[in-house]
Amino acid sequence: MTETSTLDAARDRTRDFVRQTRPGAVERADLSWPNGESVVLEYDDPEAGPVIVKHHLKASAYVSEVGALRDWAPRLGPGRAPTLVAADDEAGIMITDRLPGSAGTAATPDAYHQAGRITALLHGIEPAGTQPDQAGRMLRKIDQWLRRAPGLFGPADVDLVRSCAEAAGELPDPEAGSIHDDNQPRNWVLSPAGRLAMIDFARAKIDLYLHDVERMVFAEWVDRPELADAFFDGYGRRLTDDETALLTYRGALQAMGTVIWAREHGDSGYEQHGRRLLEQVRRTLSP
**CATH number reported for the structural domain that contains residue 239 in this entry:** 3.90.1200.10
3-state DSSP call for residue 272? helix
Task: Specify if 104 maps to a domain.
Answer: no
In DSSP terms, 96 is beta-bridged to: 52, 84
Tell me, yes or no, whether 91 and 120 share the same domain.
no
Q: How far is CA 10 from the centre of its chain?
A: 21
3-state DSSP call for residue 276? helix
Tell me, yes or no, whether 189 and 90 share the same domain.
no
Per-residue model confidence (pLDDT) at position 6: 86
β-pairing verdict for 196-198 and 127-130: unpaired
Domain end call among 72, 98, 124: 98
Domain that holds residue 52: 7-98
Number of domains the chain contains: 2
Can you give the length of the chain in residues? Answer: 287
Supply the DSSP symbol for 4: P
**What's at 112, amino acid-wise?**
Y
Task: Specify if 1 maps to a domain.
Answer: no
Tell me, yes or no, whether 275 and 145 share the same domain.
yes
Calculate the alpha carbon distances from 195 to 103, 190, 224 in Å.
12, 6, 21
Tell me, yes or no, whether 162 and 248 share the same domain.
yes
Tell me, yes or no, whether 170 and 255 share the same domain.
yes
Cβ contact 271:263 at 8 Å: yes
CA distance 271 to 264: 10
Tell me, yes or no, whether 221 and 115 share the same domain.
yes
Tell me, yes or no, whether 153 and 271 share the same domain.
yes
Per-residue model confidence (pLDDT) at position 4: 66
Per-residue model confidence (pLDDT) at position 2: 67
The pLDDT tens digits of the residues spanning 184-219 come to 999 999 999 999 999 999 999 999 999 999 999 999
Which portions of the chain are predicted below pLDDT 70?
2-4
Tell me, yes or no, whether 139 and 278 share the same domain.
yes
CA distance 197 to 77: 10
CA distance 184 to 76: 16
Per-residue model confidence (pLDDT) at position 34: 76
Q: Sign of the CA dihedral 45, 47, 52, 56? A: negative
Task: Specify if 103 maps to a domain.
Answer: no
Phi, psi of 129 (to 5 degrees): 85, -140
Tell me, yes or no, whether 78 and 124 share the same domain.
no
Cβ contact 278:260 at 8 Å: no
Q: Which residues lie closer than 8 Å to 6 by C-beta, 6 or more apart?
A: 36, 57
Tell me, yes or no, whether 94 and 203 share the same domain.
no
Tell me, yes or no, whether 85 and 148 share the same domain.
no
Task: Specify if 51 maps to a domain.
Answer: yes
β-pairing verdict for 102-103 and 188-190: antiparallel
For residue 34, what is the domain's CATH number? 3.30.200.20
